[in-house]
Structure formats: C-alpha cells, structure tokens
Amino acid sequence: MAIYRFYQLGRSTLSQALAGILPKALERGMRAYVLCDSDERAADLNTRLWAEDPASFLPHGLASEKGAAGQPVLLGTDDISPPNHANLLILTGGMDCANDNAFEMVCVMLDGADSDAIKSSRSIWKRAIDAGHQASYWEQNASGAWAEKASG
C-alpha cells in the first residue's frame, strides 16, 4: 500500500516545492519519478530544478535521456514503469496514476489557486482512501511552511 501525501501550493512554485521535497526523499534513500502532463513541462521543470538552488546539488534528469536508469530523480510523462525503478511518485499538472501500488509513496502536487487541480486532487484522495491507502493533506501557509490539514 502506498502512502499518499497531497501538497497544496500557496506561496511556492512547483519547482521551489520540489527543490525542498526531493532532497529529503533522497536522504531517505528513495528514488523519485516526477510525472508531468507534457514533455514541455518535464523539460521546463528539469531546467528550473538545476537553477533553483545554486548552493546545492539535486541529481536529476529526463526519463527520455540516455542514462536515465541511473538517475535518482527523473521527470517524464510515462507512468508505466520509470527507468530508475522509483519508489516515490510525484504527480504534477493534474496527473493521476493507476499504477500507484508500484510505489511506496505518492505525492500529489497541486496549485491552491487552481480549482480544477483541487477537484482532481479530491478525486485522487477519495480513490486512495477507498483503496485503503494512508493519506495526508498538507497546505502551504503564508510564510511558506507546510501545515497538515487532513489525514485518512
């Protein structure tokens, strides 16, 4: 059973939030796959993650690139089987994944100002809870800190 975490962005951009979450996942020995809604979005996030914090190094790449299997963090659009054998799936851009049992953890990133994203995340929440997954919902406050708003 996967653990679900929903992150409602309020102050940070997606790339800023990922730059905070992904290093923590790597510290725990996880391998991550960021599922994007388009190749353009994946390429844009790839570029932004390289520039997000010049003082740190977050090894990552695109799933479509040579050597992708060796990357601890991949960005791509195919939810079938990430080449890096990720155990953490991060859903962006309203994406969903029916293959959630292949992952230990699923993080759903959503823009708090986007009503469609909130609606989509509610659907994913319901499906996760109905399937017996553990879930928690985190909202970013005005100072940028995460506060847990719900769990199930």
Give the dihedral sign, CA 99/96/11/112: negative
For residue 5, what are the contacts with CB-CB under 8 A and spacing of at least 6? 105, 106, 107, 108, 135, 136, 138
- Which pLDDT does position 142 carry in this prediction? 87
- Which pLDDT does position 34 carry in this prediction? 97
State the residue range of the domain holding 18.
3-151
Confidence of residue 134 (pLDDT cuts 50, 70, 90): very high
Query: What is this structure's pTM?
Result: 0.94
Percent of the chain residues topping a pLDDT of 90: 80
| Helix H or strand E encompassing 49 | helix 39-52
- Which pLDDT does position 144 carry in this prediction? 87
Provide the domain count of the chain: 1
- Which pLDDT does position 7 carry in this prediction? 97
Q: Is the pLDDT of residue 54 over 90?
A: no
Number of Cα atoms under 13 Å in the Cβ half of residue 70: 3
Between β-strands 32-35 and 73-76, what pairing exists: parallel, antiparallel or unpaired?
parallel
The 10s digit of each residue's pLDDT in 56-101 is: 889 999 999 999 999 999 999 987 789 999 999 999 988 888 787 8
CATH number for the domain that contains residue 120: 3.40.50.10110
| pLDDT average, residue stretch 3-12 | 95
For residue 40, what are the contacts with CB-CB under 8 A and spacing of at least 6? none
